[in-house]
Structure 1
Amino acid sequence: METITTDICIIGAGSGGLSIAAGAVQMGARVVLIEGGEMGGDCLNAGCVPSKALIAAAKHAHAMTTGAAFGITPVVPEIDFAKVKDHVAAVIEGIAPVDSQERFEGLGVRVIRDWAKFTGPDEVTAGGYRIKARRYVVATGSRPFVPPIPGIETVPYLTNETIFAQRERPAHLIVIGGGPIGMEMAQAHRRLGCAVTVVEGAKAFGRDDPDAAAVVLAKMRGEGVEILEDAPVVRVGGHEGAIEVEIKDGRVVTGTHLLMAVGRQVSLEGLGLDVAGVEHTRKGVTVGADLRSSNRKVYAVGDAAGGLQFTHVAGYHAGVVIRQMLFGLPSKSGTAHIPWATYTDPELAQVGPTEAEARKAYGETLTVVRFHYAENDRAQAERKTDGFIKVMVVKGRPVGVTIAGAQAGELIGLWAMAIAAKLKMGAIAGTVLPYPTLSEVSKRAAGAHFSPTLFENPMVKRIVGLVQRFVP
């Protein structure tokens, strides 16, 4: 078996692994990248990219049915579901060269297309090679979690890994799981002409602010998505084209297709982490804030690190470990400034704690300010008035922000930067923004933080009165 000696060995060619490989090799490190599946990982092939492409197609279909308020006669769109999936595939193909083996080999990365396994604390085997590296990075991502519901072993079901290859439109899609993946797919399929029922054991959008979730749930239900909450599934049955989902209270939901969207599990099987002395649990590799494991040679990033499961977190983690591995600089990861978004319509976005979490953490030192989309001129022009922004403030600084509304995923970026840079609300309130834009909801929310001090303070009014009387 040939031995390869290198500086960095990365296991997994998803967002985190590719970011580390590209950065490290271009700064002079020797890099081996191992991937047993598809280059680009889940995000490119079965996650973020195809889901947003499908959502984009669904928005076009929906727009054709909702033009009456603008003086445009609504029409029922003719949807070629197979061509919608061609669009999804074309988007993936358009991005794939950036993540391709050829590109990374062109940068100087040694790419091995096989499954990796630790055979010792400082040795990995893959593709007939023994890799000896100074540092290792576990960037293996996650895959859909399918719970052991009675009957699941005999019923055909879809996950995010298979639904984008489905070229025939489901007549009635049943979605088990009311989290981001389930709800995005539910609304998209409804807009593409499917009947859709979501079955959620607790609350839909359970991780999000309840007020914000209510805005999206009302819109989805108004579009015809049936959403059953507090509905634990006790059994599934049936066959292709005739699926049954039994709920704990005895109700039975019937449909033609079943999508399992109840969460994800970290992909660590077969890696030989025990042999490498790398502590881990079912949630991921056990790491510190520096993303280093119990084996000081081994780091973990992204989903494999056992924390927030977002593509942008994996990219952020890449920067944390690169600073350590290439420059020997201390670097730690955090979560207070990490945003996330759900791309339903309206969108949901969050950075930092929700209002309930912030009240628990900060008590009476917390103030909460809101601004509604209905008071934004651009939102009125585009009839996107559903939603609001909510900012949690402690000692003049934002610590958490919730946005429910159009382009919430775009708007949350300003607040993620503000929290990361420890900016005060005055910095947001003093920012000059183009008019009319939806981004003004952030500025107006920041301004609302100062309203009680400026407009409800008798002392301010006395000062203004004195200035008007005595200052020429």
Structure 2
Amino acid sequence: METIQCDVAVIGAGTAGLSAYRAARNAGKHVVLIEDGPHGTTCARVGCMPSKLLIAAAEAAHAVREAPGFGVHPGELNIDGKAVMQRVRSERDRFVGFVLENVAAMPAEDKVHGRARFTAPDRLQIGANLEVAAKAVVIATGSSPEIPSGWAAAGPRVISSDAVFEWTDLPRSVAVIGAGVIGLELGQALHRLGVRVVLIARGDSVAQLKDPQVRASAAQALGEEMDIRFRTEVAAIQRAGDGLELRTRGANCGTEERVEQFDYVLVTTGRTPNVSGLGLDHSGLALDEKGVPKFDRHTMQCGESCIFIAGDASAEIPLLPEAADQGRIAGANAASYPGVKRGLRRTPLAITFSEPQIATVGQGYQELLNGREHFAIGAVSFDDQGRSRVMRQNKGLLRVYGEYGSGRFLGAEMVGPRAEHIGHLLAWAHQARMTIDQMLDMPFYHPVVEEGLRTALRDLSKELQKPPPPPKPVPNDCTPGC
């Protein structure tokens, strides 16, 4: 058996793996990058980029429909599904091509193709005849979409989001299961492109929102445009001719089943970290209930071992910026192992490209609610916000959270126009540990949507001037013997 000796072995060549590879190589180490599938990253192939291409087409169609509200009458809307999907796929391939060019430019001796599995904490076997011996290893194997086996048994028209971007034409109808980020983005885009869409949500969650008032505002705004059914369960999916029969019922007992026909059922209920088959039983690592190695989120080190983890494989925050940061931290620490340092973990920022857009920044409502300290809340509705009304995008709610005493900005949850831009402003303010007063000292132009942010911050400032509520009661110590 051939053995390759290296300083760092990186398993997986997605966003996290490439980031880890570059960080370790920049540290002057010999790095081997192992990949068993096609190169190109999840983001470029089946994630953020092709989904935004579909959303861009949907926004163009929606603008035509909304034009009469401005007194502009463009005529009958005609959506060419084949042309829409041709552009999505061709531009997607262009983005993938950029990644492939970068991979092709890497030294050939740094790249290994095949499936890796641990035979020891510092040894990997690839296929039958190759072994990689490394001083440190980075697991960056990504994740895969989940489709329950009972649903998948209905055939190939029960799909994940990956399959959408291989369509050559738009279907007539799609049932989307799951009201998370992917379900909302793709469901609304398809709806705007003339596809009959029903979105099924088992609970009342909307994307990443936890604040009940913001979540309710999002549900109302999105529900006014498309058919979203919250608290609805999938009873069965089965083949029906060339399509599928979907049976659903309300979450309450005794609710009658609803039977409908669709061309496809798109399952967007989650993704699973790709850690099975890695031979983790030979790694010596402690695993959590999902089978993912336990790790320090500041160093990405798994226990005290020479193994690090990054990206979707860690099951922490499945977002590209987080994967890139985790990969950089993991790669740098793998290169310097056993000298491990805390890396920069930036302010959490998550954006859903629905309309209205959804953004969460910093500490969320539920996280703050679960904490020991009280916090104040400021809010603004976009219903009557000036620039929002000008654009006829006046829907949504922003809630900002601040700390009593210090006046520090803690976080925000938002649904509304231009949330992707407001979210960035708030993330920068949060990472800079700014106070609400400092944020209000910043310039605000007129007329802009950001004036709504200023209104929310002013509201929060007033709340912080009030006495804080009494401290939360500390639970009694029920330790035996007390």
TM (norm. structure 2) is 0.86
C-alpha distance after superposition, 1:264-307 (max 9, x if no partner): 11111221111122333426222123221146111111121121
1:317 and 2:326 correspond:
yes
Q: Which position in structure 2 is the counterpart of 1:233? A: 234
Q: How does 1:46-445 map to 2 (within 5 A)?
A: 46-100=46-100, 102-108=101-107, 110-126=110-126, 128-149=129-150, 152-154=153-155, 156-205=157-206, 207-208=208-209, 209-223=211-225, 225-239=226-240, 241-248=242-249, 249=255, 250-281=257-288, 282=290, 284-289=292-297, 290-294=299-303, 296-326=305-335, 328-331=339-342, 337-362=347-372, 365-374=374-383, 376-395=385-404, 396-445=407-456
Alpha-carbon offset, residue 118 of structure 1: 1.6
Cα distance between partner residues in 1 of 2:441 and 2:224: 38
How many angstroms does 1:379 deviate by?
2.1
Q: CA deviation at 1:144?
A: 0.7
> Per-residue deviation at 1:192?
0.7
Offset at 1:189?
Answer: 0.5
Distance across 1 between alignment mates of 2:384 and 2:439: 18
Taking a change above 3 Å as real, the CA distance of residues 150 and 444 of structure 1, as seen in their structure-2 partners, is closer
Q: 1:305 to 1:92 in 2, by over 3 A?
A: same
Aligned equivalents of 2:332 and 2:24: distance in 1?
A: 10
**SS, match of residue 253 in structure 1:** strand
Residue of structure 2 in register with 1:464 after alignment: none
Give the partner amino acid of 1:394. Answer: E
**Following the alignment from structure 1 to structure 2, what is the Cα–Cα distance between the partners of residues 108 and 150?**
44
Distance in 1, Cα, partners of 2:434 & 2:291: 33
Does the 8 A contact of 2:181 with 2:352 survive in 1? yes
Letter in 1 for 2:437: G
The CA deviation at 1:381 is 2.6
Greater CA deviation, 199-208 or 294-303? 199-208
Q: Which amino acid aligns with 1:303?
A: D
- The one-letter code of the counterpart of 1:284 is V
In the TM superposition, residue 188 of structure 1 has moved relative to its aligned partner by: 0.5
What secondary structure does 2:72 align onto? Answer: coil
Question: Is this contact kept in 1: 2:285–2:303, CA < 8 A?
Answer: yes
Relative contact order, higher structure (CA 8 A, sep 6+):
2
| Superposition RMSD in Å | 2.5
How far off its partner does 1:181 sit?
Answer: 1.0
Distance change in 2, residues 1:39/1:441 (3 Å): farther
User: What residue number does 1:461 align with?
Assistant: none
Secondary structure of residue in 2 paired with 1:162: helix
Give the aligned residue type for 1:215.
S
Q: Is the 8 Å Cα contact of residues 22 and 107 (structure 1) preserved in structure 2?
A: no
Q: Deviations over 1:116-164 (max 9, x none)?
A: 2222221112365321112111111111111243673546311111111
Q: 1:449 to 1:200 in 2, by over 3 A?
A: closer
SS at match of 1:350: strand
Structure 1 stretch displaced more, 255-264 or 409-418: 409-418
Inter-CA distance 107–323: structure 2 relative to 1 (3 Å threshold): same
Q: Distance in 2 between matches of 1:295 and 1:96?
A: 36
Task: State the Cα distance separating 1:58 from its structure 2 match.
Answer: 0.7
Give the letter aligned to residue 126 of structure 1: I
Change (3 A) 1:106 1:28: farther
Task: Give the conservation status (yes or no) of the 8 Å contact 2:376–2:463.
Answer: no
Look up the match of 2:474. none
Distance change in 2, residues 1:329/1:440 (3 Å): farther
Change (3 A) 1:368 1:126: same
- Which consecutive residues of structure 2, in runs of 5 or more, have no partner in the other structure? 250-254, 468-482
**TM-score normalized with structure 1 length:** 0.88
Letter in 2 for 1:309: P
Q: 1:118 to 1:452 in 2, by over 3 A?
A: closer
Aligned to 2:25: 25
Aligned length: 452
- C-alpha distance in 1 between matches for 2:134 and 2:445: 51
Taking the aligned partners of 2:421 and 2:135, their CA distance within structure 1 comes to 39
Q: Flag the 1:77–1:34 CA change in 2: closer, same or farther, 3 A.
A: farther
The aligned residue for residue 469 of structure 1 is: none
Deviates more, 1:44-53 or 1:76-85: 76-85
Q: Kindly tell me: are residues 85 and 324 of structure 1, through their superposed partners in 2, closer, same or farther at Cα, counting changes over 3 Å? A: same
Alpha-carbon distance between aligned partners in 2 of 1:304 and 1:246, rounded to the nearest angstrom? 33
CA displacement, residues 154-188 of structure 1 (integer Å, 9 cap, x when unaligned): 46311111111122322111111121111111101
Deviations 1:210-254 (A, max 9, x none): 33233333333333x211111111211124533112224322232
Q: In structure 2, what residue type is equivalent to 1:59?
A: E
Cα 1:27–1:385 change in 2 (3 A) is same
Contact 2:147-2:267 within 8 A present in 1 as well: yes
Q: Which runs of 5+ in 1 are unaligned?
A: 458-472
- Secondary structure at the aligned position of 2:280 is classed as coil
| Partner secondary structure for residue 62 of structure 1 | helix
Q: What is the SS of the residue equivalent to 2:282?
A: coil
Deviates more, 1:295-304 or 1:443-452: 443-452
CA deviation after TM superposition for structure 1 residue 263, in Å:
0.9
Does the 8 Å CA contact 1:323/1:331 hold for their aligned counterparts?
no
